[in-house]
């Protein structure tokens, strides 16, 4: 009986390895691009790439869309704790649902992005953002590879749920 439970646990852990690999790839891509930005750009420097896209170095002490960026510093630890809690929850979910491909893909994207932004908060006290989309004087807040991965993961979670509801009808 114990051997069967161990084999089931080992199988679940092995099933989540591709998803952890994807999360690791996204984390490395995020950190690598941030190192490049920190090395080549000063805070506020910007490079015009296309009529609708810039590379710009921005430091975000808040969360999405600079939420709580003007707070006195406590938000760094709040968002770090939320990121760590999300990481642990996602790891548990990946372990229990490794065969659900779209769901696990979404979680892996969110995991890689969340860990990338947590590392920034721990190392710098802020998240390094550098991708900026704009059009005719309107500027979307700058973001990074981690943010893009989290957004893609959230969109895939919504799609996965819509497909699950559709299948249940």
Q: CA-to-CA distance for 136 and 9, rounded, in angstroms?
A: 54
pLDDT of residue 167: 85
pLDDT of residue 165: 86
pLDDT of residue 66: 54
pLDDT of residue 13: 67
State the catalytic residues.
Answer: 129, 147
Taking residue 72's Cβ as centre, other Cβ atoms within 10 Å add up to 7
pLDDT of residue 71: 52
Domain ranges of the chain: 17-168
pLDDT per residue as tens digits for the range 25-64: 999 999 999 999 999 999 999 999 999 999 999 998 766 6
Rounded to an integer, the average pLDDT of 114-132 is 93
> What are residue 52's phi and psi, to 5 degrees?
-130, 10
Are 76 and 90 in contact, with CB atoms under 8 Å apart? no
pLDDT per residue as tens digits for the range 4-23: 544 455 556 678 899 999 99
What's the pTM value of the predicted model, to 2 decimals? 0.84
pLDDT of residue 120: 94
pLDDT per residue as tens digits for the range 140-154: 889 999 999 999 999
Computed over its alpha carbons, how large is the radius of gyration of the chain? 18
pLDDT of residue 68: 55
pLDDT per residue as tens digits for the range 54-106: 999 999 876 665 555 545 566 667 878 888 999 999 999 999 988 899 999 99
pLDDT of residue 60: 87
């Amino acid at each position: 009986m114990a051997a069967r439970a161990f084999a089931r646990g080992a199988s679940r852990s092995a099933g989540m390895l591709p998803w952890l690999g994807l999360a690791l790839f996204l984390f490395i891509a995020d950190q690598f691009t941030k190192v490049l930005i920190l090395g080549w750009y000063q805070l506020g420097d910007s490079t015009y790439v296309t009529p609708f896209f810039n590379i710009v170095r921005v430091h975000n002490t808040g969360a999405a869309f600079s939420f709580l960026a003007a707070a006195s510093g406590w938000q760094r630890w709040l968002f770090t704790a939320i990121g760590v809690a999300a990481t642990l929850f996602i790891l548990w979910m990946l372990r229990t649902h490794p065969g659900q491909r779209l769901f696990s893909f979404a979680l892996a994207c969110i995991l890689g992005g969340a860990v990338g932004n947590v590392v920034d908060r721990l190392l710098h006290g802020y998240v390094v953002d550098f991708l900026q989309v704009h059009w005719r004087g309107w500027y979307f807040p700058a973001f990074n590879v981690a943010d893009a991965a989290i957004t893609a993961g959230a969109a895939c979670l919504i799609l996965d749920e819509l497909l699950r509801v559709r299948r249940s009808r």
